Amino acid sequence: MKNVLIGVAVAIAVIALIVFIYVKMKAVTERAAAISEDVIARYVGLLQSRKYEEAYDTCLSDGFKKKWPKAEFVAAHQARVDEFGALQGWKENDYQHEANLFTSESLIGFNGILSYANREVFVLYKVDSAIQPYLIMEIAGSIGTSTSLSQGIW
């Protein structure tokens, strides 16, 4: 009888864990979709419209702003359009969730392609409620032949 009770307790614990993981993953998926639709779509739309100052002010994290002054951000985007052509859009490839069990920090990393008229660029954005550009790679034929670009102002 004792073994049966232990087995039932273990089964209940496993089921509870599975339900907990499912609920957390569903919440992350919903949060990622909301961030993609709200924050990233707004940011890319502002960049496409060449509203760089507004993109800087409303979409980027405070940590990013401490590293990169607004004037430098605006100048970099204007120069990029001159070199690569107009920004055509964003194609999201995937996302992943990063959380710290000991703090409330929770980021979602989105990777995708920024398509310019003459070039495509692979970008990884880390996002909570604001964008933190993280990794940028120029695509030269395929991601396997990519070259690393400045991690800065994208």
- The model's pLDDT over 68-127, given as tens digits with 9 standing for 90+, comes to 899 998 998 898 899 889 999 999 888 888 776 676 667 788 888 889 998 888 888 888
**Domain interval for residue 134:** 2-148
Judge whether 154 lies within some domain: no
CATH code at position 126: 3.10.450
Judge whether 88 lies within some domain: yes
Residue pair 112/89 in contact (Cβ under 8 Å)? The answer is no
Token pair in block for residue 147 = 């070259």
Judge whether 21 lies within some domain: yes
Judge whether 29 lies within some domain: yes
Res. 150: pLDDT tops 60: no
More confident residue, 96 or 21: 96
Residue 64 has a pLDDT of 85
Q: How many domains does the chain have?
A: 1
pTM for the whole structure: 0.71
Judge whether 19 lies within some domain: yes
Which long-range CB contacts under 8 A does 94-99 form with residues at least 24 apart? 95/32, 95/36, 97/28, 97/32, 98/126
